[in-house]
Amino acid sequence: MIKKADVVIVGGGVNGCGLAYNLSKRGVDVAVFEKNYLSSGATGSCGAGIRQQWSTHENAELAMKSVKIFEKLSNELGDDIELRQGGYLIAVHDKEELLQLEKNVEMQKSLGIPVKIISTKEIIEVVPILDIKGMNAIAATFCPTDGHANPFKTTFAYANAARKYGANIFTHTTVTDIKTKNKKVSEVITDKGIIKTDFVVNAAGISSEEICDMVGIKIPTKPVRKEIMATERLQPLFKAMVISFKDGIYFSQQHEGQIVGGIPIPEQKYGYKTAPTVSFLQHMSKTLTRYAPVLKHINMLRHWTGFYDVTPDARPILGETKDLKGFIHCHGFSGHGFMISPMVSKILCEYIVEGKTSDILESLSLTRFKDKKIEHEMAVVG
């Protein structure tokens, strides 16, 4: 075990590894501690959708700028992250929803996001297997540069590139405590040894609350259970991710042919229970085949549980804590931490290396809950 690092990152998910890459590329001496294997947290159980269609300015801007980074990431890291940009199609079910989504589209367009409202006829042109009556749609919003990537390949590509720049990544190593001195972080205790440092980044996903407890910081985050499934492989049928905020469903066809998607299970919303439920399978298959009746004839092959770390306003908590120098928050992603990870890594790296702050970092700080400066993200599923 090494004795010292400029920055210690807790968590080897897409955010921990992405930040390790950005920092080590800038010559910072980084150590990452991951208690299991890389991407064993939410990253490895996620749908890995990348969408720029959000209701809050911060999320839309983070996602839009992340897409620009994702588009070059395979080349930059030297590994294919399997980015596919087939777009996101968001179903609109009634006039009230249309009004809200029209507002979102206007804001998204003002940022340069190529999104538009499409008719029911155009919905079928984008995803021919959809049944407009079954899904009960009056229109949709569509952004062709949205898409998805492979979450494992993205995380490992970041980690491999970080290692090439000298980052030390320790898997199967648990952070058990953090020591502070004169209101600054000073040491990280792991089950394999102690390491001195000036910065600790909490990128521990649903365990971020535990990491914050180690330094006496309270965060208002809840673990929300999610179930997700994959079908057998099919011939290419459609390219877009289909989602509905009202029904909570999302699904897309992966490059290899399987359909991957999820839907919330109201009776098991919170907690850490990993056992998948039959009720998810019933709810998912009923809703999926209502949207796309042709899928009645296919088999679901796998089904698993993952967890969102959800904040009260469904926006992440980022940046340094005012009362404790060197303690950096990088969590609370509320179900969309994969798609914004390139920008999150970039802005936290700039903060640590240059002390650079920004409006986004300010508005996503932990203090917003105390100061009651909260704007709720509305464009979430489940």
Ligand X SMILES: Cc1cc2nc3c(=O)[nH]c(=O)nc-3n(C[C@H](O)[C@H](O)[C@H](O)COP(=O)(O)OP(=O)(O)OC[C@H]3O[C@@H](n4cnc5c(N)ncnc54)[C@H](O)[C@@H]3O)c2cc1C
Contact residues for 84 (Cβ-Cβ < 8 A; gap 6+): 147, 148, 149, 239, 255
CB of 82 to ligand X, least distance (A): 14
Which range of residues in 101-109, 161-169, 317-325, 327-335 is near ligand X by CB under 6 A? 327-335
Give whichever of 86 and 306 is closer to ligand X, judged by the CB atom: 306
CA-to-CA distance for 252 and 235, rounded, in angstroms?
A: 13
146 binds ligand X (CB under 6 A): no
70 binds ligand X (CB under 6 A): no
Give whichever of 127 and 159 is closer to ligand X, judged by the CB atom: 159
Q: For residue 89, what is the enclosing H or E element? A: strand 88-92
337 binds ligand X (CB under 6 A): yes
What are the phi and psi torsion angles at 273 (to 5°)?
Answer: -70, 125
CB of 70 to ligand X, least distance (A): 11
CB 224 within 8 A of CB 351: no
308 binds ligand X (CB under 6 A): yes
89 binds ligand X (CB under 6 A): no
Among 5, 48, 73, 157, which residue interacts with ligand X (rule: CB under 6 A)? 48
Residues 241-300 close enough to bind ligand X by CB under 6 A? 262
CB 161 within 8 A of CB 178: no
Contact residues for 284 (Cβ-Cβ < 8 A; gap 6+): 227, 229, 249, 261, 262, 263, 300
CB of 224 to ligand X, least distance (A): 8
147 binds ligand X (CB under 6 A): no
CB 259 within 8 A of CB 301: no
Q: How many CB atoms lie within 10 A of CB 327?
A: 24
Return the structure tokens found at 212. Answer: 């914050």
Among 2, 4, 36, 257, which residue interacts with ligand X (rule: CB under 6 A)? 36
Q: How many CB atoms lie within 10 A of CB 106?
A: 10
CA distances from 71 to 93, 105, 110 (A): 32, 22, 21
Among 142, 238, 251, 338, which residue interacts with ligand X (rule: CB under 6 A)? 338
CB 78 within 8 A of CB 157: yes
Which range of residues in 20-28, 41-49, 100-108, 229-237 is near ligand X by CB under 6 A? 41-49
Among 5, 8, 10, 162, which residue interacts with ligand X (rule: CB under 6 A)? 10
226 binds ligand X (CB under 6 A): yes
Q: How many CB atoms lie within 10 A of CB 46?
A: 25
Which range of residues in 106-114, 160-168, 293-301, 305-313 is near ligand X by CB under 6 A? 305-313
Among 45, 52, 53, 345, which residue interacts with ligand X (rule: CB under 6 A)? 45
β partners of residue 117? 141
CB of 219 to ligand X, least distance (A): 13
Size of the site for ligand X (CB under 6 A): 39
CB of 316 to ligand X, least distance (A): 8
CB of 32 to ligand X, least distance (A): 9
Contact residues for 236 (Cβ-Cβ < 8 A; gap 6+): 253, 257
333 binds ligand X (CB under 6 A): yes
CB of 116 to ligand X, least distance (A): 22
Return the structure tokens found at 39. Answer: 């991407």
Give whichever of 10 and 215 is closer to ligand X, judged by the CB atom: 10
Q: How many CB atoms lie within 10 A of CB 286?
A: 10
Among 15, 55, 145, 150, which residue interacts with ligand X (rule: CB under 6 A)? 15
Q: How many CB atoms lie within 10 A of CB 197?
A: 22
332 binds ligand X (CB under 6 A): no
CA-to-CA distance for 326 and 185, rounded, in angstroms?
A: 6
Q: Contact residues for ligand X (CB under 6 A)?
A: 10-16, 33-36, 40-43, 45-49, 174-175, 203-205, 207, 226, 228, 262, 306-308, 331, 333, 335-339
